[in-house]
């Protein structure tokens, strides 16, 4: 039996999870509301909120899993990438817990964690598979050869897909984080406005031009009709979402064809987007892919994905020492 405590604190969610023999028994996520009035995550406030949240969140994860803390065999934590101050809270907690209980410490790469969330529930992908990881800070196409052997095939050269959603929401006067709200409004709209598609080489992405074209589009239309935004909000959201999805899936399709991979997955916060999920399913049917879409609770940041990654590292006794320090930047491939 292996009981792993997973800790996630890379951005603005404090999360703790218990995984027993590869099965998630609890996954507690404390969201930080303090950032709402600033329209984005304020790093210093995030680390303070993590400090307040971490002990109650871990206690709750242990309580829900119906175990005693003495039964935990190892502690896995997000080492990076992310906000350094936030990562420090999770890393310090994990080191102290491991030291006090004399149990092994396991480092997890947050981007690998998003991908390994696919190993929580069946059906699980088989290696090699291609994963489109789309979050607030990253947009990557990754060839997953084994649990911890991953190759970066393409990535954004500027903004991430989640950032494109969040910045669009800001232009449309919608609250942060904008992704879920744009998704909701898009369901009521028609994608009748056309936004340009960036011409970027190979399997890389760019979203900063899209943001600028949305800004000009809105400004010009408001000049002619001051209520343009209110009258057309659903159609604007549907059009922006449509363009973001078409950019993502076009590159995913060409990468899958190029690499001749038919097992295809999505991961990260933006994989919760209903338009992306349904468009991917239609594309998969046409391309004869086996497609893997995570449950909603494993799309956005959560500790279950860190605990499951920790479990696979535990099986190969891949531990780190107390000297370990967090990393603000860390490639998915190492």
Residues contributing to the site for ligand KG4 (CB under 6 A)? 11, 135-137, 162, 165-166, 177-180, 183, 268-270, 272-273, 300-301
Please state, in angstroms and rounded to a whole number, the distance separating the CA atoms of residues 7 and 310: 10
- Among ligand KG4, Zn ion, none, partner that 168 touches (CB below 5 to 8 angstroms by kind): none
180 vs 198, beta carbon nearer Zn ion: 180
CB of 185 to ligand KG4, least distance (A): 11
Q: Is 135 in the site for Zn ion (CB under 5 A)?
A: yes
97 vs 205, beta carbon nearer ligand KG4: 205
Among 273, 270, 217, 280, smallest CA distance to 246 is for 280
Among 10, 5, 179, smallest CA distance to 109 is for 10
Q: Which residue sits closest to ligand KG4, CB atoms considered? A: 269
CB of 42 to Zn ion, least distance (A): 18
- Among ligand KG4, Zn ion, none, partner that 270 touches (CB below 5 to 8 angstroms by kind): ligand KG4
125 vs 136, beta carbon nearer Zn ion: 136
- Among Zn ion, ligand KG4, none, partner that 300 touches (CB below 5 to 8 angstroms by kind): ligand KG4
- Among ligand KG4, Zn ion, none, partner that 72 touches (CB below 5 to 8 angstroms by kind): none
Q: Is 12 in the site for Zn ion (CB under 5 A)?
A: no
125 vs 268, beta carbon nearer ligand KG4: 268
DSSP letter string over 23-35?
A: EEEEEEEEE--TT
Q: Name the segment binding Zn ion (CB under 5 A); options: 62-70, 133-141, 217-225, 279-287.
A: 133-141
Q: List Cβ<8 Å contacts ≥24 apart for 208-215.
A: 208/158, 208/159, 210/164, 210/240, 210/243, 210/244, 210/247, 211/159, 211/164, 211/167, 211/168, 211/171, 214/168, 214/171, 214/240, 215/171
Q: For residue 149, what are the contacts with CB-CB under 8 A and spacing of at least 6?
A: none
CB of 198 to Zn ion, least distance (A): 23
CB of 179 to ligand KG4, least distance (A): 2
CA distances from 13 to 8, 27, 76, 174, 291 (A): 7, 12, 16, 21, 28
Q: Using an 8 Å Cβ cutoff, are 7 and 306 in contact? A: yes
* Pair of tokens at residue 142: 């990754």
Q: Using an 8 Å Cβ cutoff, are 158 and 17 in contact? A: no
CA distances from 302 to 74, 81, 97, 169, 220 (A): 18, 14, 19, 23, 40
CB of 68 to ligand KG4, least distance (A): 31
3 vs 78, beta carbon nearer ligand KG4: 78
Q: Using an 8 Å Cβ cutoff, are 188 and 234 in contact? A: yes
- Among Zn ion, ligand KG4, none, partner that 107 touches (CB below 5 to 8 angstroms by kind): none
- Among Zn ion, ligand KG4, none, partner that 43 touches (CB below 5 to 8 angstroms by kind): none
CB of 9 to ligand KG4, least distance (A): 12
Among 272, 275, 267, smallest CA distance to 247 is for 275
CB of 123 to Zn ion, least distance (A): 23
**Which of 232, 301, 302, 313 contacts Zn ion by CB under 5 A?**
301
62 vs 308, beta carbon nearer Zn ion: 308
CB of 241 to ligand KG4, least distance (A): 8
Q: Using an 8 Å Cβ cutoff, are 309 and 115 in contact? A: no
* Pair of tokens at residue 263: 């097992």
Q: Where do contacts with Zn ion occur on this chain (CB under 5 A)?
A: 135, 301
């Amino acid at each position: 039996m292996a009981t792993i405590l997973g800790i996630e604190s890379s951005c603005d969610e404090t999360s703790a999870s218990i995984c027993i023999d590869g099965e998630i028994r609890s996954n507690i996520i404390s969201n930080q509301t303090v950032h709402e009035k600033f329209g984005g995550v304020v790093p210093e406030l995030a680390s303070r909120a993590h400090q307040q949240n971490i002990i109650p969140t871990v206690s709750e994860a242990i309580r829900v899993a119906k175990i005693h803390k003495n039964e935990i065999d190892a502690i896995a934590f997000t080492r990076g990438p992310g906000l350094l101050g936030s990562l420090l809270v999770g890393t310090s907690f994990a080191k102290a817990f491991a030291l006090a209980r004399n149990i092994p410490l396991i480092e997890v790469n947050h981007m690998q964690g998003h991908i390994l969330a696919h190993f929580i529930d069946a059906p699980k992908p088989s290696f090699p598979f291609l994963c489109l990881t789309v979050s607030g800070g990253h947009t990557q196409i990754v060839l997953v050869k084994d649990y911890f052997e991953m190759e970066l095939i393409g990535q954004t050269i500027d903004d991430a897909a989640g950032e494109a959603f969040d910045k669009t929401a800001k232009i449309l006067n919608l609250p942060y984080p904008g992704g879920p709200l744009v998704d909701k409004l898009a369901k009521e709209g028609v994608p009748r406005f056309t936004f340009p598609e960036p011409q970027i080489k190979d399997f890389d992405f760019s979203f900063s031009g899209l943001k600028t074209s949305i800004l000009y589009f809105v400004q010009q239309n408001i000049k002619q009709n001051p209520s343009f935004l209110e009258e057309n909000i659903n159609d604007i959201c549907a059009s922006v979402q449509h363009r973001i999805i078409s950019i993502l899936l076009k590159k995913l399709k060409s990468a899958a064809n190029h690499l001749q991979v038919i097992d295809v997955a999505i991961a990260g916060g933006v994989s919760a987007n209903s338009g992306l999920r349904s468009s991917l399913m239609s594309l998969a049917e046409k391309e004869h892919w086996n497609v893997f879409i995570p449950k909603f609770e494993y799309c956005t940041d959560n500790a279950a994905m860190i605990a499951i990654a920790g479990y696979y590292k535990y099986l190969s006794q891949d531990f780190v020492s107390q000297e370990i320090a967090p990393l603000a930047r860390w490639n998915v491939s190492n």
